[in-house]
Structure 1
C-alpha cells in the first residue's frame, strides 16, 4: 500500500466518523417520534393535537362568528364611556357642583388620622390610605348622602302618589338631544289622577349633574366623572348581570380600588358575591387607557359564585381587550406605554394571587375526618364562617334590602319599590 492510498483511506475514515457523530447529535437534540407514527402517518400530515394538555398560555384569537362580533362591538361601545369624562369643560362644571372646601377639609382630617394610626404602630409603618384616597372617600360620602338620589318609581308630579311601571316609550326630541336612549313610563296608582310620568335614562354625565337622580348606571357614570374631576384615575366597571360601579387607582397602594357609590362601599370587592350572594360571569373595567378583565377581583370562589362564561371563548376576550388597549394607547409616548404595561403586570399578579388565596382557603376548610371516614366524602365540611354572612346578605333588588339601604327615594325609605334596573347602554 502506497502512502497516497493510505492517506486517502485515512481521510475517508475521518469523514465517515464525523458524519456518524453529527447524526448522533442531531438524533439526541430532536425528540423521537412515537413508535409507529412514521409508518402510519403521511409525510405531509400535520402533527397530532394534544387536547388533554392544560395551562397552556392562551393565544388571542379574533372573533369568528356573528355572536362573537356582536360581543366585540358591545365591548368597544362600553369602552367609550370613560373617554367622555376627559372633556375639560365637563370637568370644570363638575368642580362647580362639588363643595371642594368641605371635601378637602374632611380628607385632610382623615389623612391625619391614618398617619397617626401608622405612627402609633411603630416607625416605618405606612398609613392605610393616602391623601388622594381620602379625597375620594370624602367625595363618596357626600355623593351618596347629599348629592344624588336613587329612583325606582318616580312619584306622580300631580298628586305625589306612588306610581307603577307601565312600559317603555320613545324618547322625545328634547330627551334624545340630552342623550336619552330609552324612556320608562309610569302611571299614577290613584285611579282618579291617572297621570303618566316619564323617566328618561340619560347617559350624559353633564345632564346628570342637573338631574341628580337615577339608578346604578347613572350613579356610576356621574360619580366616576366627579372622581376624574378631582384628579383621580378612574375606571367604569361593567358587570354582565345587572350592575355597574367604579374603580379608582390608588397611587399610595399602587392598585385599583373598588368603589360603589350606590352602596357607599370602599374597597369591598366581595360585596356582590359573599355579601349579596350573587353569581357573576364577567366584570370588565374600562378606562381612558384601555380595558381589563377584573372578574377575578370580585369572584374569589368560582365554584360557588362564578357563572359559566359563554359569551365568547377566552382567547377571543383576550383579543378584544388587547385591541381596546392598543386603540386607547396608540398616541401615547413610550414612557406612558411602559408605565401602563407595568401596572398591567402588577394587576395580573394581584388577580392571580386572589385565586391562589381562595384555593388555599377552601383547602383549609376541608376536615381530615371527612376524607378518612369511608363513604362520607368531602361534602360534610365544617361550617364556613363566611357562609352565614353571605346568607344574611340581600340581593340588590329585594324590597327589604332596598329599605335597609335607604334607596326608596330621598325621604321615602320605606316604600316597596322595584329592583334596580340594568344600566342604560
Structure 2
C-alpha cells in the first residue's frame, strides 16, 4: 500500500527537465562572468585615468628649448593622407571660391518651368522619341542575344538624350567663329569689343564682339553679342562652346534628365547627363556629338587640363579625374587654390544647394556622391596599374623609366574621339595630339569671359 501511494505521488509531481536546467544554469553563469568582467574593466579604467597626468601637465614634458605654446610639428613630408576641407585663407583662393560660386548659378536657370516648356516647343519630340524607341529596342535585343540576364548598354532615357544630341548638332545649332558679313556674306576680321546696345543688354549680353568685313569696298561691321540666356539661344541658335553647352544642357533638362554643366579651366565647357540605367554621370559634348567619351580632350585633342568642375542644381563636384586619366601626362598644375580648399568649396556649394531638400533626398544624393567618388578613385588606380604594366624587366635592371611602346587601344581611342573634319576642328581652335594649349588670345579671352 505504501509503495502504491509513493507511485501515485511520483506520478503527480512534475518531472524535472535536466537539459533545460543545465541550459539555465549555463546562461546564469555566463551572465555572472560578464558582469564580473565589466566591473573589472571599469575599475581598471578608473585607475588608469587617475594614474595618468592631467592634460595641463603635458606641457612639463616639452624640451626646455621649445616654447610652451609652440605649434605642433609639421607632417608635410607624409603623403596620401586624406585631406580635411579647409576654408580659403589667401586672396587667390577667395577669388577662386567666388568664381566657382558664380558659375554654380548656371544650372539653376534651367529649373524655370516656363523656359522648359518653351524649349519643348522647338524640339521635334515625335522624331526624338521614335529614334530613342528604335535604338532602345535594338540595344535590348543585342543584350538578350548575349544570354539571359544581360543588361542593355543604355536605357531608354539614355537613348532619348542620344537622339537629342544628334538632332541638336546636325539640325538645330550652328558654330560661329567669325560671323560672315550680313551685306556681302564675305569673311570678317575681328577688330575688338563694343559696348552692348540696350536691346542686347536686355537679352543678357554683357559683351559684344565687333568684326569688320574683309572686302575693302564693303567696310561693313558685324556685331556678335555673347548671350548667356538659354531662352535667347533658342532663338539665335548659334554660338561657340559656351552657347552650345548652355542651350543643349537646358534641352536635356526639358526632356526630363538630370544634367550638369562642366566648366574647364582651359576654356571649354560641356555637359554631363545622369544615366539611371548605368547609375553614373555620362560625358556629353554637343559641339562634338560625343557621348561617353571623357578622354576626348586629352587623348583626342592632345590638351592638358587642370580643373574640370561639374555644377548641377544639386551641388558641385570636382570631376577632373574622369577626364584626366593620366595626371603625369595630361594634367596641368592646379594652382588656383590648395586641394583642401577645393574640397571645402565643393562641400559649401553642395550644402547651399541641398539646404531645402528632405532628409531622404539628401541621403540619396550623398550615396550618389560616394559612388561617384569611388568611380573617380578607380580611374586613378587603373591609371597607376596601366603604367606599372608597361614596365619591363630590362627597365627594372637598368633603373630606367619604362620604354614607350605603341598602345593599339590608345590609337583606337584617338581615332574614335577626334570627331569632325579638319576645318571644323581648326575653326574651334583645337588641334590634334600634341598641339599646344595656347590659342588665339582674343578668342581665348572671349571664351573665358563667356564661360565665367
Query: Normalized against structure 1, the TM-score is what?
Result: 0.85
The aligned residue for residue 243 of structure 2 is 218
- Specify the SS of the correspondent of 2:151: coil
Note the C-alpha offset of 1:68: 1.5
Note the C-alpha offset of 1:293: 0.2
Q: 1:325 to 1:403 in 2, by over 3 A?
A: closer
Q: Distance in 1 between matches of 2:235 and 2:269?
A: 21
The aligned residue for residue 424 of structure 2 is 403
C-alpha contact 2:296 2:417 (8 A) present in aligned 1? no
In the TM superposition, what whole-angstrom CA distance separates every residue of 1:19-71 from its partner, at most 9, and x where no partner exists? 9x9569967xx9xx9xx965654555443222222222212111112221111
1:62-101 aligned within 5 A: 62-101=87-126
The aligned residue for residue 158 of structure 1 is 183
- Specify the SS of the correspondent of 1:199: strand
Q: 1:147 to 1:405 in 2, by over 3 A?
A: farther
1:320-339 aligned within 5 A: 320-339=345-364
C-alpha contact 1:276 1:393 (8 A) present in aligned 2? no
Which residue of 111, 122, 138 maps to 1:113?
138
The aligned residue for residue 233 of structure 1 is 258
Q: Distance in 2 between matches of 1:256 and 1:284?
A: 13
Which residue of 233, 244, 268 maps to 2:293?
268
Q: Distance in 2 between matches of 1:23 and 1:144?
A: 73
Q: Distance in 2 between matches of 1:391 and 1:106?
A: 28
Q: Distance in 2 between matches of 1:77 and 1:24?
A: 52
1:355 aligns with 2:380: yes
Which residue of 337, 342, 363 maps to 1:317?
342
C-alpha contact 1:276 1:390 (8 A) present in aligned 2? no
For the pair shown, the structure with the greater C-alpha radius of gyration is 2
Q: Distance in 2 between matches of 1:24 and 1:79?
A: 51
Note the C-alpha offset of 1:387: 5.8
C-alpha contact 1:91 1:229 (8 A) present in aligned 2? yes
Q: Distance in 1 between matches of 2:79 and 2:427?
A: 48
In the TM superposition, what whole-angstrom CA distance separates every residue of 1:75-109 from its partner, at most 9, and x where no partner exists? 01100000000000000000000000000000000
Q: Distance in 2 between matches of 1:40 and 1:386?
A: 61
1:383 aligns with 2:406: yes
1:281 aligns with 2:302: no
Q: 1:405 to 1:148 in 2, by over 3 A?
A: farther
Q: Distance in 2 between matches of 1:150 and 1:286?
A: 24
In the TM superposition, what whole-angstrom CA distance separates every residue of 1:92-131 from its partner, at most 9, and x where no partner exists? 0000000000000000000000100000000000000000
Number of positions where the alignment pairs a residue of Structure 1 with one of Structure 2:
390
Q: Distance in 2 between matches of 1:117 and 1:333?
A: 40
The aligned residue for residue 413 of structure 1 is none
Q: Distance in 2 between matches of 1:359 and 1:337?
A: 33
What runs of 5+ residues in structure 2 fail to find an aligned partner? 1-42, 430-438
C-alpha contact 2:392 2:402 (8 A) present in aligned 1? no
Note the C-alpha offset of 1:392: 7.2
In the TM superposition, what whole-angstrom CA distance separates every residue of 1:4-27 from its partner, at most 9, and x where no partner exists? xxxxxxxxxxxxxx99x9569967
Note the C-alpha offset of 1:350: 0.2
Note the C-alpha offset of 1:404: 5.9
1:292 aligns with 2:292: no
C-alpha contact 2:293 2:417 (8 A) present in aligned 1? no
Which residue of 207, 216, 221 maps to 1:196?
221
Note the C-alpha offset of 1:270: 0.3
The aligned residue for residue 5 of structure 1 is none
What runs of 5+ residues in structure 1 fail to find an aligned partner? 1-17, 409-416
The aligned residue for residue 396 of structure 2 is 371
**Structure with the larger helix share:** 2
Q: 1:218 to 1:44 in 2, by over 3 A?
A: closer
Q: Distance in 1 between matches of 2:424 and 2:359?
A: 51
Q: Distance in 1 between matches of 2:256 and 2:98?
A: 30
Question: RMSD over aligned Cα, in angstroms?
Answer: 2.9
- Specify the SS of the correspondent of 2:447: coil
Q: Distance in 2 between matches of 1:246 and 1:140?
A: 11
Q: 1:393 to 1:166 in 2, by over 3 A?
A: farther
The aligned residue for residue 411 of structure 1 is none
C-alpha contact 1:277 1:394 (8 A) present in aligned 2? no
Q: Distance in 1 between matches of 2:117 and 2:246?
A: 16
- Specify the SS of the correspondent of 2:87: coil
C-alpha contact 2:305 2:331 (8 A) present in aligned 1? yes
Note the C-alpha offset of 1:402: 3.6
- Specify the SS of the correspondent of 1:52: coil
